[in-house]
Amino acid sequence: MSKKLFIETLGCAMNVRDSEHMIAELNAHEGYELTDDATAADLILINTCSVREKPVHKLFSELGVFNKLKKSDAKIGVCGCTASHLGKEIIKRAPYVNFVLGARNVSKITDVLHKDRAVEVDIDYDESQFAFKDFRSSPYKAFINISIGCDKQCTFCIVPKTRGEEVSIPPELIVAEVKKAVDNGAKEVFLLGQNVNNYGRRLANEKVNFTELLRRVSAVEGLERIRFTSPHPLHMDDEFIEEFARNPKICKSMHMPLQSGSTNILKAMKRGYSKEWFLNRAQKLRELVPDVSISTDIIVAFPGESDEDFEDTMDVLNQVRFEQLFSFKYSPRPLTEAEKMEEVDSEVGSDRLDRLQARHDEILDEMKSINLGKMVEVYFEELRSDGYVAGRSDNNLSIKVKGSEEWLGKIAKVKIIEVSRNVQYGEIIA
């Protein structure tokens, strides 16, 4: 009987891809098959996130639960960003954990598996060209790493300390991965990096920036859709926005992580742009791509944020009218510059978060009727148990239509007939 692997993936798309890599390596070299039942697993992996404090607390309570329910000889491994930053501390606090594997050491998964209490968390380790075995959670779309690590020093962010310095994966390897994914049936690729439009850092052989990479990837025959995350507003130059607008394979949905609308706070965060720059870029995007959907990340109550600063954030929200908002209350992280700064009162932070989210809900309600009656192209990726198939429009609307598995992996024209804040219903036209 094959050995069973249970894996829980927290956090960002990069973690999802890291999990796919570990699943592939464990399957090819050790014969592990996936299970969604932790009690039946021979190996339990938690791929952790450390950007905010809550998930870290949750980790230790979850580890305790897994330790109780697991088979007596099953192993537990902790991987990802929390593994990178806590390292051997994890084994100290939870001695039953068999190994700890950092976010930048994923390729060593089959080594640590056989070493008792191994801790591999070297953030200088460069696995950007490691030839991972193949595994994809979806046959329809492929996550493809284009860079690892991050060279920015945003003062709130722990990621540069857990994923190390930024290294670009050579363009020819990326294009080869895209071709392979398309040959295996994917019509959509999702290019991944902490700061994708800074692509080109530490490339050994030639100078290729993100815009040029997008052109090369879009030349792959059979590929229909390109998405990417996350770009940085600072690096959204005209060339990039114009390529985004012009290239028909690039999906018209852009993530623009604002973080704060106050130029003062942006300075304290070391984001490198001002409120005016952000508004200018969003405006250019909306002008060139009228159908674009813009998503954002916002942190409220960063140390020193005054009522006035917060009003600037509300002002940007009201001007840009983001189609999607991921918002967080500031959470002090170890190893970051902001950790030592004086915090905003917690209740004030919670009120601001509530106000921001409530206003965003109103904006979504105001905007949703715009989509009613619209024709969109939907790539169907998921069969729902309620007789619907679901997919996304080019500009990232989540769309459900009545239908069966015959639509999976197909792109169809859909007319939107019912709208809500988060899901639209449609009917297939062609």
Which residues are at the interface with ligand SAH (CB under 6 A)? 51-52, 156-157, 159, 194-195, 230, 257, 259, 297, 299, 328, 330-331, 333
Q: 297 touches which of ligand SAH, ligand F3S, none (CB within 5 to 8 A by kind)?
A: ligand SAH
Q: How many residues bind ligand F3S (CB under 6 A)?
A: 9
Q: 136 touches which of ligand SAH, ligand F3S, none (CB within 5 to 8 A by kind)?
A: none
Distances (CA, A) of 51 to 12, 219, 402: 10, 35, 38
CB of 235 to ligand SAH, least distance (A): 11
Tell me if 258 contacts ligand F3S by CB under 6 A: no
Q: 132 touches which of ligand SAH, ligand F3S, none (CB within 5 to 8 A by kind)?
A: none
Tell me if 196 contacts ligand F3S by CB under 6 A: no
Nearer to ligand SAH, 157 or 389 (CB): 157
**Segment near ligand F3S (CB under 6 A), from 149-157, 312-320, 352-360, 392-400?**
149-157
Q: Which of 194, 253, 262, 396 binds ligand F3S (CB under 6 A)?
A: 194
CB of 149 to ligand F3S, least distance (A): 9
CB of 416 to ligand SAH, least distance (A): 29
Tell me if 232 contacts ligand F3S by CB under 6 A: yes
CB of 167 to ligand SAH, least distance (A): 15
Q: 299 touches which of ligand F3S, ligand SAH, none (CB within 5 to 8 A by kind)?
A: ligand SAH
Nearer to ligand SAH, 230 or 393 (CB): 230
Tell me if 85 contacts ligand F3S by CB under 6 A: no
Nearer to ligand SAH, 195 or 371 (CB): 195
Distance of CA 103 to the CA centre of its chain: 14
Nearer to ligand F3S, 98 or 259 (CB): 259
Q: 236 touches which of ligand F3S, ligand SAH, none (CB within 5 to 8 A by kind)?
A: none
Tell me if 154 contacts ligand F3S by CB under 6 A: yes
Q: 160 touches which of ligand SAH, ligand F3S, none (CB within 5 to 8 A by kind)?
A: ligand F3S
Give the residues lining the site for ligand F3S (CB under 6 A). Answer: 150, 152, 154, 157, 159-160, 194-195, 232
